[in-house]
Amino acid sequence: MDYIILIIIAYLLGSIPTGLIVGKVGFKTDIREHGSGNLGATNTFRVLGVKAGIIVTLGDILKGTLAALLPVLLNFDHIHPLIIGVFAVVGHVYPIFAKFKGGKAVATSAGVILGVNWLLFVIMVVSFLVILYLTKYVSLSSMLTGIITVIVTIIQQEIGLMIVTGLLTIFVIYRHKANIKRIINKTEPKIKWMG
């Protein structure tokens, strides 16, 4: 029963459509009607600018972190935080509050990692920013960061993290199918706000 309660809370947390809220409240804009139509941070950066993109990114990360911390906050020590955190990612990608059409799982997945291993999160952020600086592709940076994260967990021999980061990375890559095709065809948009 405890698992079910936390899974539902985590899913609902993940379902909060940060991009939709920031767009409508701050900019009177539904980002689903612009850019890629995606509710995630990348489309927010593209449609609404850097400030809005940062807010949405932080909000999406926070959803994953809060979900992963639920077992600790609610004194359910027998429940593994990674398991609960994954359901926030599911909620972010398939949000009940936004017709089950959400983001691509990147920031919320990172938030889950932050909730259980802050050092791994720092490695992820640094990897992402370095790859983004070099390639200017957010999608490629997200996928490669996931792969790097899995490699780090293998080196650290953290089995639980290795399994979860592996699954999340596969999910992130799957969510970026269209981006992969555009990268191959050289039609994927590059960011313009990072020198």
Closest-CA residue to 126 (of 103, 152, 100, 108): 152
Question: Could you tell me the pTM of the whole model?
Answer: 0.92
Q: CB-side exposure of 65: number of CA atoms within 13 Å?
A: 14
What 3-state DSSP class applies to 170? helix
Q: What is the pLDDT of residue 46?
A: 86
Q: What is the pLDDT of residue 166?
A: 95
Q: What is the pLDDT of residue 21?
A: 95
Q: What is the pLDDT of residue 157?
A: 87
**Is residue 27 a contact partner of residue 45, using CB atoms and an 8 Å limit?**
no
Q: What is the pLDDT of residue 162?
A: 94
Q: What is the pLDDT of residue 193?
A: 72
Scanning the chain, the segments in alpha helix (DSSP H) are: 2-15, 18-27, 41-48, 50-73, 81-93, 106-116, 118-135, 138-156, 159-175, 177-184
Q: What is the mean pLDDT of each run of 10 residues along the chain (195 residues)?
A: 92 96 93 87 89 95 97 91 96 94 93 96 96 94 96 91 94 93 92 74
Q: What is the pLDDT of residue 195?
A: 61
